[in-house]
């Protein structure tokens, strides 16, 4: 039995049920309700998988291809993977699917899929093909490249490896390029990976460049005005306060500083200075958000086809709009999502307009914690997550989630609690920084994120903690409003009826993000017909993105999807699904035949 509600023109409507006009801003299309036996209306359309008797004439040559993302969760054991891989190659040729999600769905069913997405910063510890593959199998949805470090050739190598991994193994790992920005930071250490400071030591921060080796206890600073801007008595914070100094003397381009809070200095760490308890913003506040080096990196990102550009130290919506128009003109189809990094006082002041202009946001707690008092960071995080949810933009919680795992194989209890809180807030994604870029245990850190996410999500479901706060309407056109209401209703029905999955058919991905925004209690299978949209959807909460060529005819789409997924053992007869689509604005509830 299938039941459907659809918005359509009256002439196409079998039974019209007119709603009071006052509920809508203008005369509307009718609201229809129909009920039909699935067996008579949803016929099996044959597919080009070996389980199907013959190819269907109405499907194009790509039609039997389903690509599925590594949203699945569990660490699938190597033997299990090879069994699945063997089954894939013999049984259902022509369908690409990654083995991790597939095995997970087969073994534990829909409920087991992880909803929170995971981002790994790639660095020397993880840039090899096998290391990237291990991360993808461990659940990495997005690989982040920080343009503060490495050469463009190095980044190109990583991007190409991730692409190859996607092509060869069916993953949909997206690439996020993170700009350097022009805030003040320290230089490289000329070969050394870090430098240790001790309490009471005197270090020199200088705007001089070094040709050869770095003099002992000397650090170069990226910003030419540094020595002029600081004053004796200022406090100098490295990496948001991981190490602290007090300015004791200025000698031309050199600034002598006394170490007051010792720790490890990492190359290119950010520097901020504080006077009388406030962050000092002098001429450095006038530095451009996107520097000339960043524009070259952005051109590089466009050429290499990155999926997201994360903009560091955004101050206003203007810079986001500027970049978006540049991308629209330069990258065909405006395929690159722009993520605003919220890591400055200005970005908090202009939060709503920045998020409205962006395609997503990152709570960049590292630098944010250097600009506002540390105890204000948790409240800022919660606010950013809420604003993003309200405006339907994916939100990433980043920095120091598992900082101790750079050196140790197990996290602290406090770190686990922090990760749990970000999952509980229902942020779209969690990000590893140094833990995966240069730490000793990148795979273990990813496993911790994965298992903590799964546990908290399960706890949330067991407690039946559905969203109680209503989401504000955001659509600007009437059609957008309809899509939004359909998705809100689909999510609510999914929770109330306890369905196994929501299926969403979407060309641009917008409809999938609207369902994700509601954070329904079940996974969301998002079917889209382009590979780039599929990768971008991989950043969003609860979405398991597939690439599938589909038509405007929902019944044939459903038939095809059921056949494909059933033949791979990913769904079975009797599973209850809700299907929504942005081609034909409709909701259908049905059991898989
Ligand atoms: N491509 C790379 N090459 C070498 N080291 C890297 C690379 N990417 C990251 N790292 C190392 O990992 C550490 C953490 O990386 P990450 O990019 O997350 O820094 P961050 O300070 O969180 O980000 P941002 O600079 O954007 O504020 C860096 O300090 C650096 O030591
Ligand atoms: C990720 C980042 O840029 C920060 O936390 O500062
Ligand atoms: K950066
Ligand atoms: Mg930062």
Give the per-residue pLDDT at 469.
Answer: 64
What confidence score (pLDDT) does residue 66 get?
Answer: 47
Give the distance (Å) from ligand 1 centre to CA of residue 467: 36
366 lines ligand 2 (CB under 6 A): yes
- pLDDT for position 96: 53
Dihedrals φ, ψ of 123, to 5°?
A: -150, -165
Tell whether ligand 2 has an atom less than 6 A from the beta carbon of residue 364.
Answer: yes
- Report the pLDDT value the prediction gives residue 28, as an integer from 0 to 100: 29
Distance CA 213, CA 190 (A): 7
pLDDT, one tens digit for every residue, the chain (593 residues): 567 666 543 333 332 223 233 333 332 232 333 333 332 222 222 222 223 333 333 323 333 334 444 333 333 333 334 333 333 332 333 345 566 777 777 776 777 789 999 999 999 999 999 999 999 999 999 999 999 999 999 999 999 999 999 999 889 999 999 999 888 888 887 777 788 999 999 999 998 877 777 788 999 998 888 888 999 999 999 987 889 999 999 999 999 999 999 999 988 888 988 998 888 877 777 788 998 899 999 999 999 999 999 999 999 999 999 999 999 998 776 589 999 999 999 999 999 999 999 999 999 999 999 888 899 999 999 999 999 999 999 999 999 999 999 999 999 999 999 999 999 999 999 999 999 999 999 999 999 999 999 999 999 888 876 666 678 899 889 999 999 999 999 999 999 999 999 999 999 999 999 999 999 999 999 999 889 999 999 999 999 999 888 888 888 889 989 998 888 888 889 999 999 998 888 899 999 99
Is any ligand 2 atom within 6 A of the Cβ of residue 180?
no
Q: Which of these, 433, 413, 425, lies nearest to 380 by C-alpha position?
A: 425
Distance between CA atoms of 144 and 575, rounded to whole angstroms?
A: 36
3-state class (DSSP) for residue 507: coil
What is the CA angle 285-261-181, rounded to 5?
25
- Cα distance between residue 200 and residue 112, in whole Å: 52
* Closest ligand, as measured to the CA of 269: 1
Mutate to test the pocket of ligand 2, among 180, 266, 365, 397 (most ligand atoms within 8 A of CB): 365
User: Where do runs of H (alpha helix) occur along 55-179?
Assistant: 78-91, 99-108, 129-137, 152-169
Nearest atom of ligand 1 to the alpha carbon of 343: 27
Residue 361 confidence (pLDDT)? 98
Q: Is the CB of 439 under 6 A from ligand 1?
A: no
Q: Which ligand is nearest to the CA of 121?
A: 1
Pair of tokens at residue 4: 């459907």
Ligand 1 pocket: which of 149, 186, 311 to mutate (most atoms within 8 A of CB): 149
* Any ligand 1 atom below 6 A from CB of 288: no
- Rounded to whole angstroms, the Cα distance separating 400 from 412 reads 11
Give pLDDT, residue 467: 62
Answer yes or no: same fold for 2-68+477-591 and 195-279: no
Determine whether the shortest distance from the Cβ of 398 to ligand 2 is under 6 A. yes
Pocket test for ligand 2, best of 340, 398, 401 (most atoms within 8 A of CB): 398
CA distance 198 to 201: 6
SS3 per-residue string spanning 188-215 = CCCCCCCEECCCCCEEEEECCCCCCCCC
Ligand 4 midpoint to CA 180 (Å): 8
On whether the 119-183+287-462 domain is CATH 3.20.20.60, my answer is yes
For 396-410, the pLDDT digits (tens) are 999 999 999 999 999
Q: Judging by beta carbons within 10 Å of its beta carbon (0-12, 13-18, 19+), is residue 447 exposed, middle or buried? A: middle
CB of 367 closer than 6 angstroms to any ligand 2 atom? yes
End-to-end CA distance of the chain: 9
**CA 570 / ligand 4 centre spacing (Å):** 40
pLDDT confidence of residue 242: 87
Q: What is the pLDDT of residue 551?
A: 84
Q: Which CATH class is domain 195-279?
A: mainly beta
Residue having the nearest C-alpha atom to atom 2 of ligand 2:
364
**Which protein residues have a CB closer than 5 Å to ligand 4 (ion)?**
343, 364, 367
DSSP conformation class of 221: B
**Residue 215 CA to ligand 4 centre (angstroms):** 27
Does the beta carbon of 433 lie inside 6 Å of ligand 1? yes
Compute, in angstroms, the gap from residue 521 CA to the centroid of ligand 4: 33
Measured in Å, residue 370 CA sits from the centre of ligand 4 at 10
pLDDT in tens, 128-160: 999 999 999 999 999 999 999 999 999 999 999
- Looking at residue 443, its pLDDT comes to 98
Taking the C-alpha atoms of residue 569 and residue 567, their distance in angstroms, rounded to an integer, is 5
Q: Whose atoms come closest to the Cα of 365: which ligand?
A: 2
538 vs 135: CA distance, rounded Å: 15
Nearest CA to ligand 1 atom 18: 433
ipTM: 0.98
Assess whether the C-beta atom of 149 lies below 6 angstroms from ligand 1. Answer: yes
The yes/no answer on whether domain 2-68+477-591 falls in CATH 3.20.20.140 is: no
| 3-state SS assignment for residue 165 | helix
- Distance of CA 426 from the midpoint of ligand 3 (Å): 24
For the chain, give every domain's residue range: 2-68+477-591, 119-183+287-462, 195-279
Instruction: Report phi then psi at 579, rounded to 5.
Output: -115, 135
DSSP 113: S
SS (H, E, C) 317-357: HHHHHHHHHHHHHHCCCCCCEEEEEECCHHHHHCHHHHHHH
Q: What is the pLDDT of residue 75?
A: 36
Q: Is the CB of 341 under 6 A from ligand 2?
A: yes
């Amino acid at each position: 039995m299938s039941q459907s509600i659809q918005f359509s023109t009256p002439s196409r409507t079998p039974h019209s049920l007119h709603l009071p006009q006052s509920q809508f801003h203008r005369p509307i299309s009718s609201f229809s309700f129909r009920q039909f036996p699935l067996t008579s209306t949803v016929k099996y359309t044959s597919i080009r998988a070996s389980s199907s008797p013959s190819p269907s004439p109405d499907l194009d040559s790509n039609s039997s291809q389903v690509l599925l993302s590594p949203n699945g969760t569990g660490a699938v054991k190597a033997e299990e993977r090879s069994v699945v891989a063997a089954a894939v190659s013999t049984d259902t040729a022509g369908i690409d699917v990654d083995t991790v999600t597939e095995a997970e769905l087969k073994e534990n069913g829909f409920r087991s899929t992880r909803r929170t997405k995971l981002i790994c910063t790639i660095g020397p510890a993880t840039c090899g093909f096998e290391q990237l593959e291990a991360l993808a199998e461990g659940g990495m949805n997005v690989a982040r490249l920080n343009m503060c470090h490495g050469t463009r050739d190095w980044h190109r190598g990583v991007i190409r490896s991730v692409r190859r991994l996607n092509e060869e193994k069916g993953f949909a790992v997206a690439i996020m390029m993170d700009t350097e920005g022009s805030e003040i930071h320290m230089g490289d250490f000329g070969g050394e990976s870090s430098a240790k400071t001790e309490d009471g030591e005197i270090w020199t921060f200088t705007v001089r460049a070094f040709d050869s080796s770095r003099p002992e206890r000397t650090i170069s600073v990226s910003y030419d005005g540094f020595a002029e801007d600081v004053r004796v008595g200022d406090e100098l914070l490295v990496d948001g306060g991981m190490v602290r100094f007090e300015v004791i003397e200025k000698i031309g381009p050199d600034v002598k500083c006394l170490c007051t809070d010792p720790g490890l200095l990492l190359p290119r760490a950010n520097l901020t200075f504080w006077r009388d308890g406030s962050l000092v913003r002098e001429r450095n506040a006038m530095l451009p958000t996107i520097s000339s080096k960043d524009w070259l990196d952005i051109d590089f990102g466009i050429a290499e086809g990155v999926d997201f550009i994360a903009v560091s130290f955004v101050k206003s919506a203007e810079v986001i709009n500027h970049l978006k128009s540049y991308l629209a003109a330069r990258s065909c189809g405006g395929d690159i999502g722009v993520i605003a990094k919220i890591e400055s006082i200005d970005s908090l002041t202009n939060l709503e307009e920045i998020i409205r202009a962006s395609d997503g946001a990152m709570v960049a707690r590292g630098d944010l914690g250097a600009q506002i008092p540390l105890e204000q960071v948790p409240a800022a995080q919660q606010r950013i997550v809420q604003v993003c949810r309200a405006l339907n933009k994916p939100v990433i919680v980043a920095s120091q989630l598992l900082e101790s795992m750079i050196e140790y194989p197990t996290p602290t209890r406090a770190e686990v609690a922090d990760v749990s809180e970000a999952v509980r807030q229902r942020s779209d994604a969690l990000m590893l920084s140094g833990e995966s870029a240069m730490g000793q245990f990148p795979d273990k850190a990813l496993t911790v994120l994965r298992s903590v996410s799964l546990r908290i999500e399960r706890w949330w479901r067991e407690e039946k903690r559905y969203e109680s706060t209503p989401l504000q309407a955001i659509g600007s056109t009437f059609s957008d409003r309809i899509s939004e209401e359909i998705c809100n209703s689909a999510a609510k029905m999914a929770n109330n009826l306890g369905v196994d999955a929501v299926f969403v058919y979407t060309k641009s991905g917008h409809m999938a993000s609207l369902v994700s925004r509601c954070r329904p209690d079940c996974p969301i299978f998002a079917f889209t017909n382009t590979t780039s949209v599929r990768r971008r959807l991989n950043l969003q909460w609860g979405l398991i993105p597939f690439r599938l060529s589909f038509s405007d005819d929902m019944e044939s789409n459903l038939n095809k999807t059921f056949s494909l997924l059933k033949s791979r053992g990913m769904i079975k007869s009797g599973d209850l699904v809700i299907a929504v689509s942005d081609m034909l604005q409709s909701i259908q509830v049905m059991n898989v035949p």
